[in-house]
Amino acid sequence: MELSGKVAIITGVSKGIGRATVEALLAKGAEVAGWGRTAPDDFKHPRFHFIKCDIRKEADVQKAYATTTKLLGDKVHVLVNNAGIGNFGPIDGFEAADWHAMFDTNVHGLFYCTKAVLPQMKKQKEGHIINVASLAGTAGTANLAGYCATKYAVRGFSDALFKEVRPQGVRVTCVMPGSVETNFGGIEPGAEPNPHKMQPEDIAATIVHTLEAPQATMISEIQMRPTQPK
């Protein structure tokens, strides 16, 4: 897809992969609507439109979609389901509220956003949905059972969805990064980039790569790992 002039919605844009993806798509000439509870700090661009939205609430998502189309027109070409949270710990000490918070954001919110954009994408016979999962959606890890469960769900949803919507010309890609240097899990990135981890910009570049694939090609799933982990 040629991204210049296209309309993209990205969730979870305050920092990390979401913000890096906003910047990458703006650099390609896209109009970007950023949905989230928190706007990115000190970030302004004439083609970036922050829309306050709690994706855990379907009514909020529907309102954000209506605001987006009012601002940018009916056509929506890209949705990047990036918003996600991770609560870690042993299952027998895990709070039910933390479990629900992860599923409400990582799975249910992703469903609400996808449901909102699909009718228009099908109608225009063009669109691309990127679901940001994780390598945690490919193998279980001790003390990450809840998080892994959400990312397995995202991967399964993506696999089913691409088969459902490809006849209408809509592409779906499940992006599964490994170790990325972000604030995820409350860990502050270091002042100097860690050469043993991927950077948010690396994941954003991969997302752009999948979006720009020739129209006859759909990259349905992509896994990313640090080249030289430590």
The predicted model scores a pTM of: 0.94
pLDDT of res. 193: 64
- Record: fold of 7-224: Rossmann fold (3.40.50)
pLDDT of res. 229: 83
Query: 3-class secondary structure for 57-103?
Result: CHHHHHHHHHHHHHHHCCCCCEEEECCCCCCCCCHHHCCHHHHHHHH
**In Å, how far are 36, 112, 116, 180 from 81, measured between CA atoms?**
11, 10, 12, 17
Is residue 147 among the annotated active site residues?
Answer: yes
| The one catalytic residue among 65, 112, 147, 152 | 147
Q: How many residues does the chain have?
A: 230
How is residue 61 written in tokens? 């998502």
pLDDT of res. 189: 45
The percentage of the chain sitting over the pLDDT mark of 70, rounded to a whole number, equals 95
Domain ranges of the chain: 7-224
pLDDT of res. 84: 95
Structure confidence by residue, pLDDT tens digits, 145-203 = 999 999 999 999 999 999 999 999 999 999 999 988 765 554 454 556 677 789 999 99
CB 15 within 8 A of CB 182: yes
**In Å, how far are 112, 215, 229 from 169, measured between CA atoms?**
20, 9, 38
State the Cα–Cα distance between residues 116 and 77, nearest whole angstrom. Answer: 13
